[in-house]
Chain A
Amino acid sequence: MRWAGTYFDGETARAHRVEVEIGTGALGIYGRAGQMAVWDYETLRRVPGTSREPGMIEVTEAFGTDARLRLEERGAVRALRAAHPKVDKRRPANRSAVARALGWTGAAIGAMAFIVLVAIPALAPQIAAMIPQEREVALGGQVEDLIESVGLIGPTCTGAAGRAALDKMTAKLTDGLDLRIPVRADVVQADLINAVALPGGRVLIFEPLLKQANSADEIAGVLGHEIGHVQIGHPMEGAVRSSASAGVIGLFFGDFMGAGVMAGFAEQFMNASHTREAEREADTFAIARMTAANAGTDDMADFFVRMRDQHGEGGLFGGYMASHPSFSEREATLRRGSVGDGAEPVLTDAEWQALKRICDSAADEADADGAAD
């Protein structure tokens, strides 16, 4: 029995109408001028990726060859599968291609890791150091405007007595220190318990941090930590590092839709260890300054204990993902650094109360006084 087929010889682009004889060990292809080819079942296979619908099959003499034969009759397809059950067998995995794929994937991850974890962090401080001070101050202003425009922080607080207390605290912590850039600390209205150091020596203490603090020493510890960031130059380094690594990690996720979110996650993951290291440096700096000012760091340690009890250690992967060292680790560091019994409070009680009320307007202050009377 002969079946109708279409044959492409792999040499020319002509389509041949042929008759096909499905034998026991081989398949014969016959055209108008007689036999055109005989394909052995040993190597004959369905063309990878072609349709598997019942009434059609496209086969090739062997993987990697160009000639094709198409059968389009149900009976022919059934006869071929009966005579040659292995026709649908897949092409075996190309081991050398798999090895090369693994090798290049490793190289790609290595290159990205080298750039993001080694090259950029090594060069970022050099570049940050080359940036003129007035430029750094201007950039800090831009960042401050940005976080204010997205509603993270509100207006700066201006209570005069509180201002004086904050200045005294800053002066105590920076006394005898050769500052890289003048420190300008302020309290701002906000919803979160936080404090940040921006480029240009700008330190912002979020008001809720003051509200929940039990003593001036807690705030002094935080302020010392932020001044540490300023003095070591972390904010500027961070700005250079993040703008330089932008897009590098995104390459790996390619053109898959929504890859940006994955890249953002991965970037956070890779940067977390740097930020944690920076936080440790700032903690060490804070302890040194507190000790120099003869102030204790136990209160700040208590603060971290309180944060841990209220909010947990934070982060799905705990230490790996978090941008800060764990509260417990920071508590331990601060306990080690404490001056102990000889410590003096950074501010007097009156100054501390004034600082706590720095965000209340003058009228409110008068009201509060009136109510007290």
Chain B
Amino acid sequence: MTDAFLNEPRASDDIVPADTYKPRRSHKRPPLDTGFARVLFAEDRQRQVADSLQGVILKGGILSLLTLTIYRFWMKTAQRRLIWRETRLDGDGFEYTGTPLELLIGSMIAIVILAVWFGFANLGLSYLQLAAWQNFDLSIFLFPVILSPLVAFAVYRARRYKLLRTKWRGIRFAMDGSAVRYAGHWVLWTVVQILSLGLLTPHKKMALERVMTNHMLYGDARFQFDPPEGALRHLTAHWMLPWLTAMVLFALMLFGFYQADGFSGGFFASLEQQAEATGEDALALKLQAIFGMAVVPLVLVYPFYLRYKSREIAMVLSSRRLLNARCESRLTWGATFKPLTAYCGYWLLLVVPVSIALGLVMFMAFSGAMMIDGKDMSVFGGDVQPQLFDSLPAKIAVYAGLYFFYGGMVLFSLWLAGLIYFRRLHTFICRGTVVHNLVSLNQVRQRVRDDQIESEGFADALDIGGF
């Protein structure tokens, strides 16, 4: 080997070759002086990584279905290991060091606590809703309200676990601070958000990210949340269109709700005639129609919400600073729009063939069961009920058929979410993000070993997915 190899430059050596990074659009921010390092997800070998990911998802999904979902911890770990190592900053991949057993233990500890908590909270709630408040429907709103701070708590714990189990260049990430205090911030900001009728949603997002980022560590260096100038103005500008649309719709619905009885012109007149003809409730029909009409503007404004979302992700990333190194993310609209379009497109394309294929297998299982029992369709009157079969083999065939159909649909959803949606989203976010002054991280040193932690169990038990 020659000296030339040992001296070959990389971004962290502070000698950066001219690069071709040119985002299509950008918000205003000062030009940056030194070079930058790229964050890339599997750019040079997209096909292979997609294939590996597909293998992990399908194998993990099937084994999870066969093990009462216990295998999900192994599946999640395999997925993370793959995504982490294929995400490279300045050419070096991240390393995920978490283990399935840690996830399992964390989840089980959370279940012990939550089962007791849920059980007694539910009992108290049933007393309140059935006896004290005389309103059964109230619980629909009350339970999420009681649960929501716990979700914020779980989100913080999940990020802490992931950071503590992530290495880059052999140095561990970490997170300190308290999940309970974060949940407190979340409650306060949610109150503010509600009082502002949602207008301050970007402020809430940035404030909560500030709390989390300021508690994040890489080795002995602490992250700082340092938003670019005018970040909130920029986000609010993008938030206005979806927010105003939602507000106008909400006002119209409210108006419609109280006034619908009096609507009798044009379209509503035809509804009244229909109600008279069929004996249905005219007011109910009108309210249904009002709800139906509200869907159209919501669908039309959704792409603008996605545009806001891409700006939000970019702004959160661009606010992260570590020593002198800082992220800069310039995500285009497509970063959030394209993955969702792909998801919907694949779903539309495949949902019918997949259902037919799975349905055929289920039909074969049912036919087999009917042959075993010597029954024909007339027994069931068109509605096949598994409990109507007599012999054990027939019952097993029927339940296997049902489970096969259900499991196939679950696998299809997992495949869509992991391979079609998330892989694209992650690719686009990485592609639109660079790190400036990476060289300053050369002075970061390893932290002393972190305490044993009980993983992100609350997030799993509370059904907060993601990677």
Contact = CB atoms under 8 A, between A and B. Distances in A.
B464 A255 contact: yes
Given A130-B131, A261-B406, A111 B105 contact: no
A278 interface: no
A8 B111 contact: no
8 contacts: A2-B1, A13-B441, A19-B1, A115-B119, A251-B111, A254-B69, A257-B465, A316-B386
Interface of A: 2-4, 6, 8-15, 17-19, 31-32, 47-51, 53, 66-68, 70, 94, 97-98, 100-101, 104-105, 107-108, 111-112, 114-116, 119-120, 123-124, 127, 130-132, 135, 138-139, 142, 239-240, 243-248, 250-259, 261-262, 311-312, 314-316
B441 A101 contact: no
Interface in B199-220: 218-219
B406 A258 contact: yes
Interface in B69-101: 69, 72, 77, 81, 84-85, 90, 92-93, 95-97, 99, 101
A244 B171 contact: no
Given A12-B443, A66-B170, A120-B123, A112 B111 contact: yes
B249 interface: no
B123 A240 contact: yes
B309 interface: no
B444 interface: yes
Given A14-B442, A248-B122, A256-B64, 14 more contacts: A8-B170, A8-B171, A11-B445, A12-B171, A12-B442, A17-B8, A50-B95, A120-B123, A127-B127, A135-B130, A135-B134, A255-B464, A257-B417, A262-B68
Contacts of B420: none
B390 A104 contact: no
Contact of B126 (A6, A244, A258): A244
B395 interface: yes
B111 A13 contact: no
In this complex, which of A9, A13, A49, A138 has the most chain B Cβ atoms within 10 angstroms of its Cβ?
Answer: A13
Given A8-B169, A258-B406, A101 B104 contact: yes
Given A8-B169, A240-B126, A315-B387, A254 B119 contact: no
Main secondary structure of the interface of B (DSSP, over half): helix
A43 to B, nearest CB: 16
Band of interface residues on B = 35 or more
B123 A12 contact: no
B6 A19 contact: yes
Nearest to B396: A316
B109 interface: yes
A49 B95 contact: yes
Given A4-B5, A12-B445, A316-B386, A112 B170 contact: no
Interface in B39-76: 48, 64, 68-69, 72
A98 B100 CA distance: 10
B411 to A, nearest CB: 9
Given A8-B170, A11-B445, A256-B69, A111 B112 contact: yes
Interface string B319-335: 00000000000000000
Contacts of A101: 101, 104-105, 108
A13 B444 contact: yes
A116 B108 contact: no
Nearest to B127: A127
A247 B170 contact: no
Contacts of B139: 243
Contact of A32 (B6, B96, B390, B465): B6
B238 interface: no
A6 B12 CA distance: 13
B118 interface: yes
Given A13-B218, A13-B441, A135-B134, A251 B114 contact: yes
Interface stretch (B353-361, B428-436, B455-463): B455-463
A254 B107 contact: yes
Contacts of A100: 101, 105
A8 B387 CA distance: 62
A50 B72 CA distance: 20
A208 to B, nearest CB: 12
A247 to B, nearest CB: 5
In this complex, which of A97, A101, A119 has the most chain B Cβ atoms within 10 angstroms of its Cβ?
Answer: A101
B193 interface: no
B5 A115 contact: no
Smallest CB-CB A-B distances: 5 pairs: A8-B170, A115-B119, A49-B81, A104-B108, A108-B111
Given A15-B12, A120-B119, A312 B390 contact: yes
A101 B218 CA distance: 29
In this complex, which of B48, B93, B104 has the most chain A Cβ atoms within 10 angstroms of its Cβ?
Answer: B104
B95 A47 contact: yes
Contacts of A68: 95, 169-170
Given A12-B443, A135-B130, A244-B126, A256 B108 contact: no
Nearest to A18: B6
A29 B305 CA distance: 52
Contacts of A111: 111-112, 115-116
Nearest to A241: B126
Contacts of B387: 312, 314-316
Interface string B172-200: 10000000000000000000000000000
Contacts of B464: 255
A94 B104 CA distance: 14
B167 interface: yes
In this complex, which of A10, A31, A100, A244 has the most chain B Cβ atoms within 10 angstroms of its Cβ?
Answer: A244
Given A116-B119, A257-B410, A17 B170 contact: no
Interface in B412-447: 413-414, 417, 441-446
A13 B169 contact: yes
Contacts of A19: 1, 6
B395 A316 contact: yes
Nearest to B389: A312
